[in-house]
Amino acid sequence: MNFFKSIIIVALTILSLEVSAQNKTNAYYGMALPMGDTKDYINPASFRGGNIEFEKLVNPNVGVGLLIGWNTFYEAKDRATYPISNGEITSKQYRYLNGIPIQATGKYYFAGDDAVIRPFVGLAAGTYYMEQRVDNGLFSSSNKGWTFSVAPKAGFLIPMSYSTSLAVSVDYSTSFKSSDLPQQNWLGINIGFSWDY
């Protein structure tokens, strides 16, 4: 519970920062390549995902924000035989993984807002609401819960107008093992827009 309180405190701190700086809203369409344990569970890339980030620039090069999003992974396995307690089950198997991140973010922009391209690096940390579901034929089982997560990221903005930039980033998301859920990892590729106001 203290973990969620910390997130709320960080979020409120971000929202209450009284600085004469810009705000940004970044919205991304997100693809994801499963890595590590996630790749063992679901191999295909995910083309279903997205996130939105509200960011405050505390100085011209440093932004802090709050990110929420959604990624979903899916794989239909061929009909096969799987072990169960004192037996076996033969069926097609449908595997799902849904992750909803709620994370605090920090970014450093290497160039000013008048640059042609603005590279950045950053880190997101917070929680994922994860749901891992396996359907065997007509039978379904799932594990769900909150996990701790971090995602280092790097990307760039290409200003297109006074207030709008094209935004591209990659991140490596890790959702740590919990009592109900195994660790998950994936490489996110995000394409979207960033608006200044």
Partner 1 sequence: MALTLSVYACYPGGAEYVDELDTSISKYDNNYSWSALDGKTYALPENIVHVKNGKEVDPPKEGPHDEAILKQVKSELDAQGMIDATATAQDTALAVAIVIIEQNNSGAAWVPGGGWWGGYYPGYPGWGWGGYYPWYPVYYSYKTGSVVIEIADYANKNTVEETMPLIYTGVLDGLIQGSESYAGQRINNGIDELFNQVPFN
Contact residues for partner 1 (CB under 8 A)? Answer: 48, 70, 72, 74, 76, 79, 81, 84-92, 94, 96, 135-139
Least gap, CB of 74 to partner 1 (angstroms): 3
CB of 82 to partner 1, least distance (A): 10
Cα separations in angstroms, 153 against 23, 65, 117, 194: 20, 14, 17, 16
CB of 187 to partner 1, least distance (A): 19
Q: Is 71 or 105 the residue whose CB approaches partner 1 more closely? A: 71
- From the number of C-beta atoms within 10 Å of its C-beta (0-12, 13-18, 19+), residue 162 rates as exposed
C-alpha distances in angstroms, 140 versus 135, 136, 143, 144?
Answer: 4, 6, 11, 13
Q: Which is nearer to partner 1, 77 or 115 (CB)?
A: 77
Q: Residue 54 CB, nearest distance to partner 1 (Å)?
A: 17
* Beta-bridge mates of residue 122: 107, 153
- Name the residue nearer to partner 1 (CB basis): 28 or 120: 28
Length of the chain: 197
Query: What residue type is 113 in one-letter code?
Result: D
Report, in Å, the least distance between residue 135 CB and partner 1.
Answer: 7
Query: Encoding tokens for residue 27?
Result: 């919205």
If we measure between CA atoms, which residue out of 154, 159, 184 comes closest to residue 171? 154
